[in-house]
Amino acid sequence: MIRLLDFQLSGRLLFGRGALSELPSALARLNVERVLIVTDPGLVRAGLCARVVDTLAGTNIEHAVFDGVEPDPRMAIVERCLAAARDSGCEALIGLGGGSALDIAKITAALLTNPGDVSQYFGVDQIPNASLPKVLIPTTSGTGSEVSPIAILSDVDAHLKKGVVSHRLYADVAIVDPDLTLGLPPHITAYTGVDALTHAIEAYTNKYAHPLVDGFALQAIELINNSLRRAVACGDDPEARFEMSMASTLGGFCLGTVNTGAVHALAYPLGGEFDVPHGVANSLLLPYVMRYNLISNVDRFAHIARVMDCQTEGLSQREAAELSVDAVMELCRDVGIVSRMRDLDVPESAIESMAEAAMDVTRLLSINPRTVTLEAAREIYRQAY
């Protein structure tokens, strides 16, 4: 029997080239006049923050900026952002950036209306009160955080990434403007794009996969296969950027409803212990987890191969399914992502502790299509090494 689907998206999605210009009217509809822009120093330097501020010129909306977001942010960043938000007296937050900035904006908006600190809200559905309004504007194509109910933080003491999952984290407005990604460097384009691919492949193959969501996942896979190489090779190709923005958003649609699986679970210790960017960790592990999961649903992996343009005529379903793994490896290679863990200064001796840490990510392992034992986790890391 197909499980009952609980499907929710952000309050509003404004998608398309030039969508950023809709920000003032979106804020007016939310009835707010004072906002805090949550972003990182790189985006301030790149002038993207100024582009957002420029849209507010001539309106009655006042703004302040918190530009202290770091990649794979620690919990301490939430505290700093919270202090900045309180100082500014803001009525809404604008998250501008990659997944890290959007996640910090989401959690801060929730903590402004909920007691205590972030550590008590890890896990699923722990946030009792509605958040302050938030508008999320991605500048990468990868996390899908702008339409997901998930925020990920680094717990430095536990050497692990931890997730807050709550409907309180959905954006009131997501503004996805592909033009904001035109200047994204090739390596970030590559690994964020593979993050989006991972969302789609895991959502299409995990235990929670659902026919209503399959279409989003498959379209995302197809778009990424068509456009990621072009977006990396020629960052100012508006069509490739548009398709990657679309793929990222479609991948995000899958996150709250179907979520991911063992790739993400095994990627967290790599990020938590060794600061490997999330997309890089995913791309290292994705082919090996796919190969491990293959027998759980050969037909679905064979379908991924067809969507990724593999020549499957005359092959058995099993042979076709194997091609999906090859296609993912080839894509990661083409866009220049490091293919072995050893090249990232991760010692081989860390495999044991990473495998043990990954086993604690039960919210994702429990929906992986094939049961992941400790020995299986070790073996996947060994293969990726």
Separation CA 81–CA 87 (nearest Å):
10
Sign of CA dihedral 275, 276, 277, 281: negative
C-beta of 173 vs 200, nearer to Fe ion: 200
Interface with Fe ion by CB under 5 A: which range of 58-66, 194-202, 287-295, 322-330?
Answer: 194-202
Strands 62-66 and 34-38, bridge-based pairing: parallel
Least distance from C-beta 180 to Fe ion, angstroms? Answer: 19
C-beta of 42 vs 163, nearer to Fe ion: 163
Of the candidates 72, 146, 177, 195, which one interacts with Fe ion according to CB under 5 A? 195
Least distance from C-beta 251 to Fe ion, angstroms? Answer: 8
C-beta of 22 vs 195, nearer to Fe ion: 195
Interface with Fe ion by CB under 5 A: which range of 121-129, 154-162, 191-199, 334-342?
Answer: 191-199
322 binds Fe ion (CB under 5 A): no
Least distance from C-beta 159 to Fe ion, angstroms? Answer: 19
Interface with Fe ion by CB under 5 A: which range of 183-191, 195-203, 227-235, 334-342?
Answer: 195-203
Interface with Fe ion by CB under 5 A: which range of 12-20, 55-63, 192-200, 329-337?
Answer: 192-200
Least distance from C-beta 200 to Fe ion, angstroms? Answer: 10
State the binding string over 138-177 for Fe ion (x if CB under 5 A, else -).
----------------------------------------
C-beta of 146 vs 195, nearer to Fe ion: 195
Least distance from C-beta 145 to Fe ion, angstroms? Answer: 9
Interface with Fe ion by CB under 5 A: which range of 55-63, 131-139, 193-201, 308-316?
Answer: 193-201
Binding region for Fe ion (CB under 5 A): 195
